Amino acid sequence: MFNFQSGEARNQFSMFNFQSGEAHSTMFSILRFSVSLLLLLMSLTVSAADGDFETALEAVRNMRVGWNLGNTFDSNSGDTLNMWIEHWTGRTPTDYETAWGQPVTKPELMAMLKEAGFNAVRIPVTWYPHMEAKFNFSSWENSIWYPSQDDIGTTVQAEWMQRVHEVVDYVVSQGMYCILNVHHDTGASNTAWLIADGDVYTQQRERYENVWKQIAEEFKDYDEHLLFEGYNEMLDVKRSWCFASFGSEGNYNSAIATSAYNGINSFAQSFVNAVRSTGGNNSQRNLVVCTYGACDGSGTWSSHLQDPLKEMKLPNDVVDGHLIFEVHSYPDVKNLSSAKSDVRTLISNWKTYLTAKGAPMIVGEWGTSTENAYANYRSNYLAFAQYFIEQTKASDIATFHWMGLTDGEHRSVPEFNQQDLVDAIIKGYYGEGGFSAIHSLPADDSGRVDIYSPSGVMLYRQVPRHAIPSLKKGIYVIGGKKYIQQ
């Protein structure tokens, strides 16, 4: 809320000491102004007082730029013929968190991201190894898992949920947004139990909804800084990338494709229904759904490449304005001019085929698909990164870089191991001055804005621009830029 601390208010009013009749008219004018100001301030945040979450579009704008805590809680053995984590570790949360080469996550990592100008973290989580499967192998040498005989069940282990919960708190305690998802329960590996297919949806619907109800119950009291993402890169029965049924003979099969898109939309609807059914803040929490495979529709080599965008439906919801679409984008940047042109085409297609359906969108993962991009094409990648962020920001699209900005033991320090890429991203969003630049207060007095502290804590919601001069002296973040109030 737009709120003056009570002590400050007492000090403000104690300045006026009316001791004579000559001050009556002055006192009346000041009191009349004070009442008017109070009524104005009370009107600024009615929605916050009512407990209403910001809309999905407001959340996307406020996320600014984000990062993925990748290869951490999403780690898993990924092959029923070689369940190596389950066989060769004690299966503690730490064993999984560090299995793919990352250190145990510390709160200092999130503080570093916040101080650099990031305002959102996506936490990919794989759940199937932390449910009810025993992973009892037939011999000491054997690491084969037979899911049909040793089912994953429906209940998430308390120890795993607790550790995920701790790291979510690391993020939101910084005033950043956190997206929590179901990750490598989907994908191309033979351990994936969530597959974009009508029959698989029927088989797995109850388990899927139960998992999401458990997650939603765990976090039902969290405010709008926590969002849920229903599933990651869900693929069809052929494990097709690019578009549904691409892995089929002839690179397309209409029956498989139809079943895949129906499956995606069905899982998306079940996700929304399951979360909403838990009530509390989940009744209006902003929820994210991916396209088939999280495909972004890039490329021109097939007429089906944009099908994942076209076939994605906006789920039905009991509240309006609290759903978000998601795609992933890993462009080739060998030719910088072409890469920039591709970005413009992508954004145009996203507007035509996704956001036109009534929801904003995010790019939940992005990076480069170019081999040796960090060497031979480094300058291209840095220029592309800044341009990509500039263009997505202009179109109200939040972005989450995939993992590599701080990697391995660099996260323990913590420090960035690609500071030049961080700088390009931050400049793309905040301008050449970066996150530390101080700007003048906006002259435009129309509309309303959310006002944050430099550390990212929301101070006041939906303040009319003409009321900004009433702020006390200090530094504020408005619209992603820092302003100083003299």
Core vs surface per residue 347-365: b (16+ CB within 10 A) or e:
bebbeebbbeeebbbbbbb
**pLDDT tens-digit series, residues 354-407:** 999 999 999 999 998 766 666 778 999 999 999 999 999 999 999 999 998 999
Nearest to 364 by CA among 419, 333, 403: 403
For the record, the structure tokens of 290 come out as 């991916």
Q: Given strand 474-478, what is the order of strands in its sheet? A: 438-439, 481-485, 474-478, 448-452, 458-464
**Residues 442, 50, 211, 163: what is their CA dihedral angle, to the nearest 10 degrees?**
60
CA distance 419 to 422: 5
Nearest to 403 by CA among 118, 46, 63: 118
Contacts of 399 (CB under 8 A, 6+ apart): 65, 66, 362, 363, 366, 388, 389, 392
Q: pLDDT digit of tens for each residue in the chain (486 aa)?
A: 333 233 333 333 233 333 333 333 433 333 333 433 333 333 333 333 335 889 999 999 999 999 999 999 999 999 999 999 999 999 999 999 999 999 999 999 999 999 999 999 999 999 999 999 999 998 888 899 999 999 999 999 999 999 999 999 999 999 999 999 999 999 999 999 999 999 999 999 999 999 999 999 999 999 999 999 999 999 999 999 999 999 999 999 999 999 999 999 999 999 999 999 999 999 999 999 999 999 999 999 999 999 999 999 999 999 999 999 999 999 999 999 999 999 999 999 999 999 999 999 999 999 987 666 667 789 999 999 999 999 999 999 999 999 989 999 999 999 999 999 999 999 999 998 888 777 666 666 677 888 887 766 778 888 888 888 788 877 788 877 777 776
Name the pairing type of β-strands 177-181 and 438-439: unpaired
CA distance 439 to 226: 29
Nearest to 317 by CA among 358, 264, 263: 358
For the record, the structure tokens of 54 come out as 């910001």
CA distances for 98 relative to 106, 161, 340, angstroms: 12, 16, 36
CA distance 439 to 475: 10
Q: Count Cβ atoms below 10 Å from residue 372 Cβ, excluding itself.
A: 10
Q: What pTM was estimated for this model as a whole?
A: 0.84
Q: Is the peptide bond before 107 cis (omega within 30 degrees of 0)?
A: no
